[in-house]
Amino acid sequence: MTSTFTGIELGKRSIIAHSQGLNVTGQNMANASVEGYSRQVIAMKASDPLYFPGLNSEVTAGQIGQGVDIAEIRRVSDMQLTSRIISSTHERGYWSTRSDYILRAEQIYNEPSNLSIRKKMDEFWDAWNDLAAFPDQAPQRIAVVSAGENLTSSINNRFSELKNLRDDADLEIRDTVDQINSYMKNIAALNNEIIRVKNTGNNPNDLLDRRDLLAEKLGELIHITVDDKDPDEFNIHMGGFQLVQGDKVALFEKATDIENSGYTRVVWAKSPEESVDVMGGKLGSLLDLRDIDFRGEIQKLDTMTVNFTDMVNSIHNTAYDLKGETGRNFFVEHPYVNNINGNYDSNGDGEFDQSRIFSITGANSLEPEAQIGIAGSLTLSSSRDENIVINYYATDTVKDLISRINHSETEVFARLDYQGRLSLKAGSAENMSNPDFVIRHVEDSGYFLTTYSGILQNSGAEGAFDWQNVDAVSQLRQEDTAFSVAPTNNPSAWLKVNQDLARDSSRVAAGFGTNGRPAASKEGDAAIAIASIMNSDVALGKSRSFQDHMAETIASIGERGRAAELTLNTVSENIAQLRSTRENLVGVNLDEEITQMLKFQHGYMAASRIITQFDKMLDTVINRMGV
């Protein structure tokens, strides 16, 4: 037999369940605009009925229900979808960062405009052209110096701006590493908290939301995947590495990379000698930007500067000024290897251990269209770790071989100078452990570099020029071969017009003179030779001329910017789709919640009415039966 107050108990349970339902609805409505919030639903179930089958069960019709209980309050979520979002956001982090930074680089290039280096360089060539017309006139001389100063100032500024980009990226790398560590620590702490709550039999809905949100934010910074196959252990991986395992976390650390201009190297906190192989995300993007894109841009600028300087100086210091003096450079660079033979102490032990030579020019004038008539193979330092071999054949013309050298993977480039002499120049080094603009190895099994062009004394390995030898220039043909030492730092940062010329423009050398005699004052052949560098074949890396080099540089940065923006749009669209799908599943819909609110409100009222009816019924029995 049921209790007298069974009905009241039943009503009470209903009131509790519905008021809890109202609480959940209130919670959903209150958090409707909270980032990462997943709506919660209350699951109700009928209370266990009276009676369960048994000897002591009352013989009565059917089972008597006892009202409603709350089964659980759970959040609505789709872990598979959330995992997909987390593992996709790294792309947005990568491309968004890349797009923003590349845009800054694009703005540095200032093209097409009248403020670019290209324009300043045009003005520099123009000034030399004007000087060629009036070599004895002071205004044209002053204009050449002034155009040179404007150009060097633009080059210095561009270097600073590009370096600032590297510096900014590095600063952000440091911040991002801190952020990553912070997220990972928080996730690990949440993992711990979640397990504790679960152990009490509750659903840690808000903590789970918080963890998903943090994982998503972490996913923007690095490419991670999450794994919660084990309900007691939430894991985060990057590539093959486990970053978070439950409450354990593998933190990153910041180290200084000496080989990379002292910038930050991301290492494992537990083993600082081991670099983290960062994949994707904002951090991956920043590292790529700093170490590939912007380092490459600075190398391009340096390549242009060092070649430009070398070519202008090589003409200028063989020409005569108005005072009849020669041997003066137009541009000066600091710092450069301060040894006449390019000997260099790389490890600072007080002993020379390397030869750092930027360019070597042979003694003989060559005809570009002439067939070499001899066969052999050149061994030159390359972008790969080992040297590469370039064969030449008797039927090759000088031009063919130069082209073959310049289109190989070598980091040594060849050209004929204004006197037709073969000039070998070092390019920038792909590998950070190699210095830029240093010829590392030159060897010829035949006679092209020896008797034909007059660079090396002897053929074969024993006659090779190698930078790891001190006094390596002794392998060159001593009397006639010219060489220049390498810069020890970024040439574009230090390039200046020789102050001797700035103080006295009559020091500008405009004519070559004749037979060792100083040039006549109206002789402008050297000025013409300098002005014609503009369109000359300069073998600037793979570029043919300075103009090509600049055009390729801006096209390249523009293309990268465009690719970054397009990819970002695509990636953002994909992620927006995923988020939209999740949002529509887990997001709060106020109409729905209000409907729920009405439902719970009416349920509450109905339960109250039941209690009231039982109250009235008991009132009749207790107070009105007149017992």
Partner 1 sequence: MNGRISTNMPRWNIQSSLMDQGVQKNNAQEKLNSNTRILNLRDDPVGAAMAMKYSSKSNRIDQFVRNIDNFKAVNTEAESELFNILDMLQTTRDLAVRGANTPTSHGAMQEMAAEVNGLLNQILVAANHVDQNGNAIFSGNVARDKAFTFVEANVPGGSSQMIVGIEYVGDNASNLLEIADRQYLEYSFDGSRLFWAENHQIASDRDARAFRLDVDSSILINGETIDLKAGDSIYSINEKINNSGLTVEASIDQITGGLTLTSRVPQKLWLEDVEGGSVLSDLGIIDSRRRPPYNIAESSQQTDTSVFDSVIFLRDQFLQNDIEAIGSRGIDLLDKSINTITSALTFVGSNSNIANLAQQKLDFDKINVENEISRQVGLDIAKGITDLQNINDAYQTTLKTAGKVLQPTLLDYLR
Site for partner 1 in 579-618 (CB under 8 A): 580-581, 583-592, 594-595
Q: Which of these, 220, 320, 365, lies nearest to 523 by C-alpha position?
A: 320
Binders of partner 1 among 43-102, rule CB under 8 A? Answer: 102
Q: How far is the CB of 162 from partner 1 (least distance, A)?
A: 15
With respect to partner 1, which residue has the nearer C-beta, 226 or 597? 597
- Contact 263/257 with Cβ under 8 angstroms? yes
In the list 125, 320, 494, 600, the residue contacting partner 1 (rule: CB under 8 A) is: 125
Please state, in angstroms and rounded to a whole number, the distance separating the CA atoms of residues 479 and 475: 12
With respect to partner 1, which residue has the nearer C-beta, 51 or 134? 134
In the list 16, 103, 142, 189, the residue contacting partner 1 (rule: CB under 8 A) is: 103
Q: Specify the DSSP element, H or E, that contains 316.
A: helix 294-316
Q: How far is the CB of 163 from partner 1 (least distance, A)?
A: 20
- Contact 411/430 with Cβ under 8 angstroms? yes
With respect to partner 1, which residue has the nearer C-beta, 76 or 611? 76
Please state, in angstroms and rounded to a whole number, the distance separating the CA atoms of residues 212 and 202: 18
Q: How far is the CB of 379 from partner 1 (least distance, A)?
A: 31
Please state, in angstroms and rounded to a whole number, the distance separating the CA atoms of residues 441 and 379: 7
Burial 248-287 (b: 16+ CB within 10 A, else e): ebbebbbeebeebbebbbbbbeeeeeeebebebbbbbbbb
Q: Specify the DSSP element, H or E, that contains 159.
A: helix 138-199
With respect to partner 1, which residue has the nearer C-beta, 129 or 152? 129
Cα angle: 474, vertex 476, 477; to 5 degrees: 110
Binders of partner 1 among 473-532, rule CB under 8 A? Answer: 511, 514-517, 519-525, 528, 531-532
Burial 581-606 (b: 16+ CB within 10 A, else e): ebeeebbbeeeebeebbeebeebbee
- Where does this chain touch partner 1 (CB under 8 A) — which range of 57-65, 133-141, 389-397, 403-411? 133-141
Size of the site for partner 1 (CB under 8 A): 71
Amino acid symbol at 437: F
Binders of partner 1 among 104-123, rule CB under 8 A? Answer: 106-107, 109, 111-112, 116, 118-119, 122-123
With respect to partner 1, which residue has the nearer C-beta, 493 or 530? 530
With respect to partner 1, which residue has the nearer C-beta, 292 or 585? 585
Q: How far is the CB of 397 from partner 1 (least distance, A)?
A: 20
Please state, in angstroms and rounded to a whole number, the distance separating the CA atoms of residues 371 and 425: 23
With respect to partner 1, which residue has the nearer C-beta, 321 or 411? 321
Q: How far is the CB of 460 from partner 1 (least distance, A)?
A: 27
3-state secondary structure of 65: coil
Note whether 429 binds partner 1 by CB under 8 A. Answer: no
Please state, in angstroms and rounded to a whole number, the distance separating the CA atoms of residues 434 and 25: 65
Q: How far is the CB of 454 from partner 1 (least distance, A)?
A: 14
Q: How far is the CB of 170 from partner 1 (least distance, A)?
A: 24
In the list 69, 136, 228, 247, the residue contacting partner 1 (rule: CB under 8 A) is: 136
With respect to partner 1, which residue has the nearer C-beta, 430 or 552? 552
Provide Rg for the chain, Cα atoms: 39
Kindly state the DSSP code that residue 53 receives in the 8-state scheme.
Answer: S
Q: How far is the CB of 595 from partner 1 (least distance, A)?
A: 7
In the list 535, 570, 612, 613, the residue contacting partner 1 (rule: CB under 8 A) is: 535
Binders of partner 1 among 22-41, rule CB under 8 A? Answer: 32-33, 39
Q: How far is the CB of 21 from partner 1 (least distance, A)?
A: 17
Binders of partner 1 among 539-578, rule CB under 8 A? Answer: 547, 550-552, 554-559, 561-562, 564-565, 576
Please state, in angstroms and rounded to a whole number, the distance separating the CA atoms of residues 342 and 423: 17
